[in-house]
Structure formats: structure tokens, C-alpha cells
Structure 1
Amino acid sequence: MATLSAFPTPNPNPNFRSPSDQPETHPQSPPPMDLHPSSDPIPNPNFNSPSDAIAPAAPPLSLLHVSFNQDHGCFAAGIEHGFRIYNCDPFREIFRRDFDRGGGIGVVEMLFRCNILALVGGGSDPQYPPNKVMIWDDHQSRCIGELSFRSEVRSVRLRRDRIVVVLEQKIFVYNFADLKLLHQIETIANPKGLCAVSQGAGSLVLVCPGLQKGQVRVEHYASKRTKFIMAHDSRIACFALSQDGQLLATASSKGTLVRIYNTVDGSLLQEVRRGADRAEIYSLAFSSNAQWLAVSSDKGTVHVFSLKINGGSPGIDRSQTASDPVTPPHSSLSFIKGVLPKYFSSEWSVAQFRLVEGVQYIVAFGHQKNTVVILGIDGSFYRCQFDPVNGGEMTQLEYHNFMKPEAAF
């Protein structure tokens, strides 16, 4: 799942507890059933009501973090004094929480559409220490659990049964019901907090950086198997899992190639080319049926690639849609690929959308057929549609700046 975050450097505090310590507060009940976040929370005098959040004359809000929920139907934004939750289609704000004092939220991770969120403090005046994960129940308007660490939390991933906390060089996996620590993983330096977990109904698959440059580690918890994949020569910059955890897309710090692997046996299934120049890949996303892959980078273009997954590969079984997708473009010189460099025989994207260069964007596939949702750290929201047969430039269906104070929802 793609995430953008901006983190301050926390001041060391000798009172912070070891990550091996038991959580300071335990949930009072198992993970809840799905409840819509727009449900009215219990009144709390320490919080502003949504209608009082921002005066029309206020300056634009400072966005610290933005991330999609697990099915890409919603997204959450962390700001300097709280957080916001938005619906993607139709686009609208469905919830906001503003804290009276300070209130910076550097990470806000949703659990599908229910009232439980994971929060980490951030910004110039964080609401919570950046080394703590707070489990927030918005129906009770309070934290029902917390996890404390010796160093800053880089990211959090949620499933209905697990909480995954990512630090600079360690990952901790907890049981959601009682916050019991189940697993610890050591990684190479991971300042971006790279981590992906499967969200399908099946067993948990977790992917994180390995202990070597360019290596990814795949944990199959059902079979208790660990698979290491040397995905790239350069360091890993980004990766994404398909919903069922069977496919893994990876990009390196070069940002020119994206590789798709079978997580069961580690085999390389496909390689596609974003471009010839180096780029920083911000996010990768599979479509729900793993027929398409979207890529965003600092070059200001979102690419959509067609995936040709081999149905005979172990553990891989992909059904195709009724309409045959366009064949991925190749160089006109690909017929002499044995003589010319690999660049000339590369698979290129079938659809593209142009954005502002240099702005961080994350991308996901929309719930409407052949649509892509793009979120920018500048507060921009785009919904676009691509032609699966002819490809080419995507059509912009919708645009909003969700951080403008005067925006009405």
C-alpha cells in the first residue's frame, strides 16, 4: 500500500520504552466490525467539532502524510493539527478530527472503513511522540492502545488481525486483539518505512527490505516460509503487493525498470520500463485483478502497464477480462534486440497521465473500471480513466485540492 510521509527528527527521550516491552494500554475488545468513519463520535471537550475546524480565512493546511486505505476506496491525510478522511468516488470529505493543542499527525493508517486508526505524531508540534503508535477508536474519541519504541516509527500497516510497525531497521508484527508481539524482523536501513502486507481473505504475506542492498524479504506466515529475492542491483526504492500477496512489483533507486515477481518461488515474471532517465519512484499499485500496474515518479507522469502473468507459474492463476488489453508498446528497433542494448526491447506503459514534475504523488486503481486515483502531497486529487484497448493519454475525470480551507464538501 502506497504512503507519503514527512517526519521530523524526534528529540531523544530516556523515558521511551523498549520495543520489546508490553504495550502500555491494551484494547478492551477484539478488532471491531466495519463502521463508517462518518458516524458521530462520543462528544469530547478536548476536540473541536468538524464545523469549527478551520475559518475560511485560514491559510492552506500543511499536509504531513497521505495514504489510501486497504481497498483504495478512501484515503487519510495527516496535518499539523489532526487528520482528515476522504472518500474517493464520489470524492468528498467524510470525517475530520482536529486537536486543540499541537496535534501534528505524521502517520494515519486506516483499517478499511472502520472507526479504528493507527496514529503517529509528526510535524513541528506532534500530537504524540513520533516513537509511539497510538491505536485510536473514533467512536470512543480516545486511544485504546499504544505501542512504544526506542526510535522513530517510519510507517504502520494494518490488517484486521495484525498491526505491523516499521522502524529504521526493524519491523514488529503484533496481534491486533491483544497487542501481543508475534514477530521481529531486522532489515537494512529503511528510512522510507517500506513494507507491504497482503489484504486478501487468505493468510498474511509480508514484504520488507532484506539485509542486503537490492534485496526484498517475503514472509509467508501460513507456511512459515521466508523467501529472499535479489530484485535489483541498486537499493530498493519502492514495492507493492497484489491483494492476495502472490505478486510483488519492485523498483530500485534508478527508477527505470519495474520488475514483477512471484512471491511463492521468487521467480521473475515480467519486467517493464518506466523510462530511460533516473527517477525516484513514489508508488506502485496493482489493480484488483492484477491485470494492470500503475507507477508514479518524480518525473510528473503516472504510467499504467499491462501485466502478462504466466498462469502456469506456481501459485499464480489470473483470469482475464472480456476485452483484450492493448499490447504493451515496444521500441521499433526491438527486432534486433540481440544486438542493441536491452532498452530497445523494453515493454513500455500503455497509458500515461501528466502531472506537476517534482511533486510527490501516490497512485491506486479506482473502483470504477479502468480508472486511476492520484493523490499529491500538495493536496491534489485526480481521478483519471485509461483506454485498455488503445492506451495513450488518460482522460482526467475529476480534480480537487482537498487541503484548501475554503473547499466545501
Structure 2
Amino acid sequence: MESPEAADGPGSHRGSICSSFNQDTTSLSVGTKSGYQLFSVTSVDKMDSIHEGVECPDVYIVERLFSSSLVVVVSLSMPRRMNVYHFKKGTEICNYSYSNNILSVRLNRQRLVVCLEESVYIHNIKDMKLLKTLLNTPCNPSGLCALSVNHGNSYLAYPGSTTIGEIIVYDANNLCTLTLIPAHDSPLAALTFTTSGGKLASASEKGTVIRVFSVPEGQKLFEFRRGMKRYVSISSLSFSADAQFLCASSNTETVHIFKLEQHSPSQEEASPTWSAYVGKMFTAASTYLPAQVSDMMHQDRAFATVRLNMFGLKNVCALATIQKLPRLLVASSDGHLYIYNVDPQDGGECVLVQKHRLFETEEDLVEDKDEADLEDAPAQPANQSYAATVALPSTPPSSTTLMGYSEDGGVKKGEVIPEHEFAEGPVCLDDENEFPPVSSQSN
């Protein structure tokens, strides 16, 4: 099997190995050769470093749970092991080892999902108990999957075929399959849910068409054409928080933003225009034209675009409201975050307003590492705890060793928490907005 390093090609990246935004796009997580870093993205002009983790090098997966202290890390040195940290306390909550390399991890308030090439593991995030193992899933070498982040649902989407773009939508709360969506003719390349989980966007390996479906029904709602250039590798899809916009980035220099709007017939009749007239002609014609032709007529072009000053570099895009204005964020593997203004009324070409350098270049990192190697290795923190739990298909864990999982200190070091004692409690990791503490503490 191809290793994560070979699959993702971090050797070709000058700055970062991986990048990901948290669920509400308030922070950016970056995996590097020396560990990982968390940055705040709530301001345009400054980008504060929240935390720098050096527990393990060559981090190729790092995911933060909203604005909490929980962060999941996977390293190229141990690609089958997932480490879950409470980074503010500097402690490890737990770790799990799997039967093969971990390709992706997704989080929400209820579930933690780990995707391997031919299996998916669903954990209860409150106690890390393994709830379900989906074995013999279609071969998924990139670990493509998406998890909704809404309070009330945990919809999981992953490929249902290796030859065509089928999407399996799975209910990770009730542990059952909801629907199978025949989304594309070629295999899938990207998936993402709206914040509410009510819509799912997808793109195929061809990269020309992006479709949006209702969840859980699987009905096609929108179809957007990214461009006429075929076989473009779409690496990132992301909805805005209000689900009005969808951005898509690829290995080309263009990021596209699409607007999800239904054209009202009553408005067109009230103020008839040439485009409305032509649109009605296309609608009438689509009843007798071939499906491929009528589909082309219904495809909407990009509402807004961004021209990056790079080509071929892997990047992750997201739409966010920062300082009360809509912005497009692009985190590139060259070690920079680009922030653009988006005009929500007229669209068009977005304007670059800020470029942040996330860290030093690879050459600087190598020099720092050489200097650090000359010094004695730092001692492991005394309060660090490690779990020996192994989550294999044949031996699911019955309990997990946890440390510091609640704001008031949690359990004692290394204490094993029975499943029933922890499963109903709130996940409370220092963030009073997302996870209110069980009891308030006086200053």
C-alpha cells in the first residue's frame, strides 16, 4: 500500500505537510516536519499562534475540534496511530492504533471518524469508545470523507464505488446508512457538507462539474461548472456558514466561488430580461434535448473568482466572516495564508487584502533542527499519560485510558473510565462558548 507520504507528497512541499480549518473556520491547523501549529484566523491584519506542538515530527494529519483544546494528530513516523491531545494542558488524552495507515480524520461534537483505505472507524468523541467499524468499504486511497458539524446530526459521506462517483451517506449518530447518491460518472475527488448538514457538495476526478445535493434525500439541487478544462484536481470544497456560497480550489491558479440561489419565476415575470427569456427557452428545450445538452444549459458559472500567484501547489480554501465581512481564506502548502475580500452582491474578481507567512522556510527549519539535535532531548512531561488501547476490527476496545478530558481536571492520571460513567457527560475542553463547563469556577 502507498504510504501517506507518497500519497500526499509532503516531500514536494516547501513549508507545510498539511493544512485544515476547524469546523467554524476560526482557526487553522498546520502539520509540519517539526510537529504542528494552530493559528487564530479571527482577524485580517494579524494571525496569532495559538499553540505549537512538538510531540511528534512530520505531522500529516492535524484536526482541531472547534475552539476547544482537543486536537488529533497523526505522524508519518507512526501512520497507523492517532494521538488525541489536550494541547492547553500539554497532556495526551488517548491514542489508538489501527490495522492500516490513517488517511483522514473528521470531528464534530458527537463523533470522531477515522478513515483508512478500506475501512472507516466511528468513535464517540465523549469517551473515545469505538462505536462502529465499517469494513470492506470501496478502496479509498486518499481517505476522502466528510462529516457534518451540526448539533443535531452526524452525517458521514464517503465514496461508494471505485469506478464511478457514488456517495454513501451514513448516519453516524444512529449508525445506519441513509442513502446512496449517484453523483458523478467518474470517481469522487472532493466532498463537503453545509454547517447544518442539509446539503452536500461533491466533485469528481474530472474536476469540471460540482454538484450539490439535499441530505438525507439525495436530490440534486445545484450544478456548477468550474471550467471547461478537463481533469483538474479539485483539492478543497467548502460552504460558507450561511450555505449561500460554495468555494472550490484545485491544482490550478483559480479558486471559484459559486452562489447557491434559486431563480424565482415570479421575479422573472415581474421584470423580464433577455437572460430570463433565454433561460425560459432553455428550460423548454431541455424537455426534448439529450440529457448531456440540457445539463450544460442548467449549469451556473462561478459567481466570484480568485487568481492565485501559484500553480500546482496543494491548498485548502474556506469561506468565513472575519471582522463582519465575508472573506475567502486560502492556506497553501508554501507556508502562507491568503485572505481575500468577497463581494456578496456583485461577485467578480476577489481582492487580496492580506498575506500571512505561517512559519519559516524548510531551510530554516532544517537549521533549527540541527541545532536542537546538539542539545539533550527534553524530558517528557511528568503529567503525560499514554494509552495502550488498540482499535482493531477483531478487538474493539471496551474502555479507554483518558487524562484531563474535562475543564475541572477530569480523572486522575492514567485512570480507566468505564464507558457508562463518561459517555453522557459534556465534552468540555476549555471553551466556554462551544462547550460550557459543568460548574463555573471563580477566578
What pairs with 1:1-400 in structure 2 (closer than 5 Å)? 7-8=4-5, 62-90=15-43, 91-99=46-54, 103-122=57-76, 126=77, 129-186=78-135, 187-212=137-162, 213-221=164-172, 224-278=176-230, 279-308=232-261, 341=293, 342-343=295-296, 346-355=299-308, 356-368=310-322, 369-400=325-356
> Structure 2: how far apart are the matches of 1:243 and 1:222?
16
> Structure 1: how far apart are the matches of 2:102 and 2:122?
13
> Structure 1: how far apart are the matches of 2:50 and 2:42?
15
The secondary structure found in structure 1 opposite 2:17 is strand
Does structure 2 conserve the Cα–Cα contact (< 8 Å) formed by 1:61 and 1:403? no
Per the TM alignment, residue 71 of structure 1 is displaced from its structure 2 partner at its CA by 0.4
Per the TM alignment, residue 167 of structure 1 is displaced from its structure 2 partner at its CA by 0.4
Does structure 2 conserve the Cα–Cα contact (< 8 Å) formed by 1:217 and 1:229? yes
> Structure 1: how far apart are the matches of 2:234 and 2:26?
22
Per the TM alignment, residue 260 of structure 1 is displaced from its structure 2 partner at its CA by 0.4
| 1:55 matched residue in structure 2 | none
Task: Indicate the larger mover: 336-345 or 365-374.
Answer: 336-345
Letter in 2 for 1:218: V
CA separation of 1:399 and 1:226: change in aligned 2, threshold 3 A: same
Per the TM alignment, residue 174 of structure 1 is displaced from its structure 2 partner at its CA by 0.7
**What CA deviation, in whole Å up to 9, does each residue of 1:252-304 have, x standing for no partner?**
00000000001121111110100011211011111111111111111211111
Per the TM alignment, residue 343 of structure 1 is displaced from its structure 2 partner at its CA by 3.9
Structure 1 or 2: more helix by fraction: 2
**What CA deviation, in whole Å up to 9, does each residue of 1:292-325 have, x standing for no partner?**
11111112111111102599xxxxxxxxxxxxxx
More contact order relative to length (CA 8 Å, sep ≥ 6): 2
Per the TM alignment, residue 344 of structure 1 is displaced from its structure 2 partner at its CA by 5.5
**What CA deviation, in whole Å up to 9, does each residue of 1:317-337 have, x standing for no partner?**
xxxxxxxxxx9x99x999567
Does structure 2 conserve the Cα–Cα contact (< 8 Å) formed by 1:294 and 1:305? yes
**What CA deviation, in whole Å up to 9, does each residue of 1:97-122 have, x standing for no partner?**
3538x622111110112111111012
CA separation of 1:104 and 1:218: change in aligned 2, threshold 3 A: same
CA separation of 1:265 and 1:333: change in aligned 2, threshold 3 A: closer
> Structure 1: how far apart are the matches of 2:100 and 2:188?
22
Does structure 1 conserve the Cα–Cα contact (< 8 Å) formed by 2:15 and 2:333? no
> Structure 2: how far apart are the matches of 1:286 and 1:403?
27
Does structure 1 conserve the Cα–Cα contact (< 8 Å) formed by 2:248 and 2:256? yes
- Name the TM-score, length of structure 1 as normaliser: 0.74
| 2:432 matched residue in structure 1 | none
Per the TM alignment, residue 377 of structure 1 is displaced from its structure 2 partner at its CA by 1.1
Letter in 1 for 2:150: G
> Structure 2: how far apart are the matches of 1:93 and 1:193?
30
Letter in 2 for 1:75: L
> Structure 1: how far apart are the matches of 2:280 and 2:357?
42
**CA-based RMSD:** 2.8
> Structure 2: how far apart are the matches of 1:99 and 1:365?
29
The secondary structure found in structure 1 opposite 2:4 is coil
Letter in 2 for 1:384: Y
Per the TM alignment, residue 161 of structure 1 is displaced from its structure 2 partner at its CA by 2.4
Identity %: 29
Per the TM alignment, residue 211 of structure 1 is displaced from its structure 2 partner at its CA by 3.7
CA separation of 1:89 and 1:185: change in aligned 2, threshold 3 A: same
Does structure 1 conserve the Cα–Cα contact (< 8 Å) formed by 2:111 and 2:172? no
**What CA deviation, in whole Å up to 9, does each residue of 1:345-378 have, x standing for no partner?**
5310111000112111211111233211111111
Does structure 1 conserve the Cα–Cα contact (< 8 Å) formed by 2:319 and 2:327? yes
Does structure 1 conserve the Cα–Cα contact (< 8 Å) formed by 2:122 and 2:172? no
Letter in 2 for 1:358: G
**What CA deviation, in whole Å up to 9, does each residue of 1:130-180 have, x standing for no partner?**
100011112332322111112100011112222110101111001123322
Does structure 2 conserve the Cα–Cα contact (< 8 Å) formed by 1:387 and 1:394? yes
Letter in 2 for 1:396: L
Task: Indicate the larger mover: 155-164 or 267-276.
Answer: 155-164
The secondary structure found in structure 2 opposite 1:131 is strand
Aligned length: 330
CA separation of 1:377 and 1:62: change in aligned 2, threshold 3 A: closer
The secondary structure found in structure 2 opposite 1:288 is coil
The secondary structure found in structure 1 opposite 2:79 is coil
The secondary structure found in structure 2 opposite 1:231 is strand
> Structure 2: how far apart are the matches of 1:9 and 1:177?
33
